């Protein structure tokens, strides 16, 4: 399932294997191992994947059957020379000791970015996991919005309390929470930007909404609506294999400008999500079919900032927004 990009890179470089060593939950190790590992591990791809864990893995570690788990070693990198012969490819962030062990064994080490390129598109299983993460993130937003609707008159409406509520909502939905609320301290009528990030099996899905307790319209609503239109414009312009992340962002910026929000007052970002909150594709990289991206837009004026972000999946006929959480700045008790 993950072999083609690595096999092609190895053939092009006349290398024997792709190798890496990482700490627990390292995204490169997780990607090739097919699951997050609870300890430091070395991973090798040379036709199939082999993993050298720092310690014995429990029977229910989730490693797929096609991945070979070798005997543990207290220093997994020391096993790498015995798993390759003449030349290997490795990420630039390959630990220094791992590179030394390989070079001392006479093995040539060349850097590669194939591990980044391989993750630009997500498999159907990865997309399903990310959809589950989005659903959990939206559960967190619902909890945050509900708290703000009920708690504007007391400490329930503080940013810290909102973050705790969102994290609890995400956890209740079975995901690992990582919510941020900005600003960290605020007056009751200050726009709160709640970025609910849910992590499922290591895959991150961030969804941002702006809430204003007691909102009565005005700039906050208009600017948030502009962000909504900007995000939708970016998603709508995406054509698989044609549109870059940068081009999608430019469309959002143009949409915001057409609504009266000049580029100097706006921030737009389009980037991949997955085993990291921010990963390929970014910038001038093309959005291929299967890519899963975060699309965000924000507006700042006179010290007030609002923002919206959603996750989208790129398909053969364009991109679709994942999830359906409302974008209104008015928090509700029940979503």
pLDDT at 2: 61
Percentage of residues in the chain having pLDDT higher than 90: 87
The CA distance from 194 to 169, in Å, is 13
Whole-prediction pTM: 0.93
Give me the residue label for tokens 């989730």. Answer: 62
Q: What is the mean pLDDT of the chain?
A: 94
Among the three residues 97, 118, 139, which one is the final residue of a domain in this structure?
118
Indicate whether 331 belongs to any domain: no
Is residue 1's pLDDT more than 50? no
Q: How many CB atoms lie within 10 A of CB 12?
A: 11
- Give me the CATH number covering residue 244: 3.90.230.10
Among the three residues 100, 118, 136, which one is the final residue of a domain in this structure?
118
- Give me the CATH number covering residue 32: 3.40.350.10
Same domain? 107 vs 186 = no
Same domain? 59 vs 130 = no
Is residue 174's pLDDT more than 80? yes
pLDDT in tens, 270-316: 999 999 999 999 999 999 999 999 999 999 999 899 999 999 999 99
Tokens of 242: 């044609």
pLDDT in tens, 197-211: 999 999 999 999 999
Confidence band of 214 (pLDDT split at 50, 70, 90): confident
Indicate whether 327 belongs to any domain: no
Is residue 154's pLDDT more than 90? no
Indicate whether 69 belongs to any domain: yes
Same domain? 134 vs 105 = no
Confidence band of 128 (pLDDT split at 50, 70, 90): very high
pLDDT at 213: 82
pLDDT at 57: 87
Indicate whether 68 belongs to any domain: yes
**Full residue range of the structural domain in which residue 30 is found:** 3-118
pLDDT at 60: 52
pLDDT at 53: 96
Number of structural domains found in the chain: 2
Is residue 171's pLDDT more than 70? yes
Instruction: Judge contact between 197 and 179, C-beta under 8 A.
Output: yes
Is residue 109's pLDDT more than 70? yes
Among 143-157, 247-261, 279-293, which stretch is predicted with the lowest mean pLDDT?
143-157
Among the three residues 118, 139, 159, which one is the final residue of a domain in this structure?
118
Same domain? 92 vs 182 = no
The CA distance from 299 to 265, in Å, is 6
The CA distance from 43 to 56, in Å, is 15
Same domain? 301 vs 287 = yes
Indicate whether 328 belongs to any domain: no
Same domain? 114 vs 128 = no
Contacts for 91-94: CB closer than 8 Å, 24+ residues apart = 91/20, 91/28, 91/115, 94/19, 94/20, 94/21
pLDDT at 77: 98
When pLDDT is averaged across residues 146-165 and rounded to a whole number, the result is 80
pLDDT at 133: 99
Same domain? 296 vs 162 = yes
Q: How many CB atoms lie within 10 A of CB 155?
A: 8
pLDDT in tens, 58-101: 765 688 888 999 999 999 999 999 999 999 999 999 999 999 99
Sequence length of the chain is 335
* Cβ neighbourhood burial of 71 (10 Å; 0-12, 13-18, 19+): exposed
Name the helix (H) or strand (E) containing 308. Answer: strand 304-315
Indicate whether 302 belongs to any domain: yes
pLDDT at 3: 66
pLDDT at 97: 97
pLDDT at 309: 99
Is residue 180's pLDDT more than 60? yes
Same domain? 114 vs 131 = no
Same domain? 107 vs 131 = no
pLDDT at 89: 98
Same domain? 105 vs 161 = no
Higher-confidence residue of 269 and 334: namely: 269
At CA 280, angle to CA 276 and CA 286, rounded to 5?
155
Indicate whether 109 belongs to any domain: yes
pLDDT at 151: 60
Indicate whether 286 belongs to any domain: yes
Same domain? 112 vs 167 = no
Same domain? 104 vs 190 = no
At CA 175, angle to CA 173 and CA 177, rounded to 5?
110
């Amino acid at each position: 399932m993950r072999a083609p990009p690595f096999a092609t890179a190895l053939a092009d470089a006349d290398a024997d294997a792709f190798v890496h060593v990482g700490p627990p939950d390292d995204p490169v190790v997780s990607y090739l191992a097919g699951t997050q590992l609870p300890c430091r591990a070395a991973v090798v791809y040379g036709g199939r994947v082999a993993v050298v864990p720092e310690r014995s893995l429990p029977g229910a570690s989730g490693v797929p059957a096609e991945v070979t788990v070798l005997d543990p070693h207290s220093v997994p990198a020391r096993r790498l020379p015995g798993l390759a012969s003449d030349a290997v490819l490795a990420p630039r962030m390959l630990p220094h000791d791992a590179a030394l062990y390989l070079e001392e064994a006479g093995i040539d080490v060349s850097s590669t970015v194939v591990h980044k390129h391989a993750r630009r598109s997500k498999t159907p299983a990865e997309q399903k996991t990310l959809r589950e993460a989005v659903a959990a993130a939206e559960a967190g937003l619902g909890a945050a919005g509900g708290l703000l609707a009920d708690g504007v008159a007391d400490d329930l409406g503080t940013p810290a309390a909102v973050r705790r509520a969102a994290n609890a909502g995400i956890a209740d939905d079975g995901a690992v929470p990582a919510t941020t609320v900005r600003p960290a301290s605020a007056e009751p009528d200050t726009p709160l930007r709640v970025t609910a990030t849910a992590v499922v099996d290591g895959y991150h899905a961030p969804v941002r909404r702006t809430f204003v307790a007691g909102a009565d319209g005005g700039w906050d609503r208009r600017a948030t609506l502009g962000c909504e239109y900007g995000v939708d414009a970016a998603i709508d312009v995406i054509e698989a294999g044609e549109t870059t992340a940068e081009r999608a962002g430019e469309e959002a910026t143009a949409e915001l400008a057409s609504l009266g929000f000049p580029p100097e007052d706006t921030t737009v970002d389009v980037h991949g999500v997955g085993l990291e909150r921010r990963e390929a594709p970014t910038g001038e990289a093309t959005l291929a079919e299967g890519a899963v991206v975060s699309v965000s837009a924000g507006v700042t004026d006179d010290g007030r900032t609002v923002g919206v972000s959603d996750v989208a999946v790129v398909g053969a006929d364009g991109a679709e927004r994942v999830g359906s959480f409302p974008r209104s700045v008015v928090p509700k008790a029940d979503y």
